[in-house]
Chain A
Amino acid sequence: MSAPHDDDVVLLVHDAIDAAALIQFVRAETDGAIVTFDGFVRNESHGRRALYLDYDAYESMAMAKMSEIAAQVREKYAIHRVAIVHRLGRLQVSETSVFIAVSAAHRAAAFDACRFAIDTLKRTVPIWKKEYFEDGAVWADGELPPVPSNQASPPSSASPGASSGQTPTPNGALPAAPDGALPPVTDGAPPPAPAATPAAKPAS
């Protein structure tokens, strides 16, 4: 688990996301580009008219996973700042559920980092949405997160205290599913990033 970088924002909120403030937060004179992703509630799902959504999360783990994404983004791409905010609770059509902003000196890194962040969030962050229609409600289809295998790694004797809850399993790698019973899960590698700006300079 990684603490967010001082220059990053990672948040779960229950009220409207202030996108303008996040854009302003990541912006600096040394940057040349900001790429944002605004995910919001669509008015239909599988051909049915949606009324509203409820987002539920395993909040402590979701915060940890979002912080890991911010750290991975910083490691992989030459960016300045990243902000990742997800809203929980009831959202009406057109309301923003997730907002990501990435600033960088050059656009390629900002585009790639923003794409990586939202794709990884959708695969790995424990958040669920329930869709409400005129005639009922369903939990949305989702993706099964990749799980590290556990071949030769007995748990450490470290106290598993509820507050920190760290395990020794490194999480960047996310190897393939372990014990045969899981349905085909993706191999856990981050989605192939378009070939661009491989070298990440340390954040300023």
Chain B
Amino acid sequence: MTPAAQTIRVTVLFFGRLKDVAGRAEESCELAEGATIESLFATLAGQNSELARFRASLVASRNQEFAAWNTPLRAHDEIAFLPPVSGG
């Protein structure tokens, strides 16, 4: 079934322990236009309740820049969910 509303496709990346939780490093998601990083995460968490538990200890990035949760998504965005960083 094709939804009537316009949709956009974005790439989602998982890193660190989130990669383990998500069971993959990358996926492609189709979302309604107007979706935000927050609503993208909610969609993913709806499919994986384990993922939902990490919401408070994550930051997100959009096209390699840290981004607020209310950032609107655009077609072909690369969104990543990043656990606390531990380089160095």
Contact = CB atoms under 8 A, between A and B. Distances in A.
Contact of A128 (B15, B59, B66, B72): B15
A202 interface: no
A98 B72 contact: no
A1 B64 contact: yes
Interface residues of B, number: 38
B84 A143 contact: yes
Contact of A179 (B19, B70, B74): B70
Contacts, number: 145
A128 B16 contact: yes
A178 B85 CA distance: 19
A147 B57 CA distance: 13
A60 interface: yes
Contacts of B77: 160
A179 B87 CA distance: 26
Contacts of A127: 85-88
A142 B83 contact: yes
B67 interface: yes
Contacts of A130: 16
Contacts of B39: none
Nearest to B87: A127
Contacts of A142: 16, 83-86
A154 B68 contact: no
A103 interface: no
Contact of A178 (B11, B15, B70): B70
Interface of B: 11, 13, 15-17, 19-20, 38, 55-72, 74, 76-78, 80, 82-88
Given A166-B65, A182-B56, 19 more contacts: A1-B65, A57-B87, A58-B80, A61-B80, A124-B85, A126-B61, A126-B82, A143-B86, A147-B66, A147-B67, A148-B68, A160-B62, A160-B74, A160-B78, A161-B76, A165-B64, A165-B65, A178-B70, A183-B56
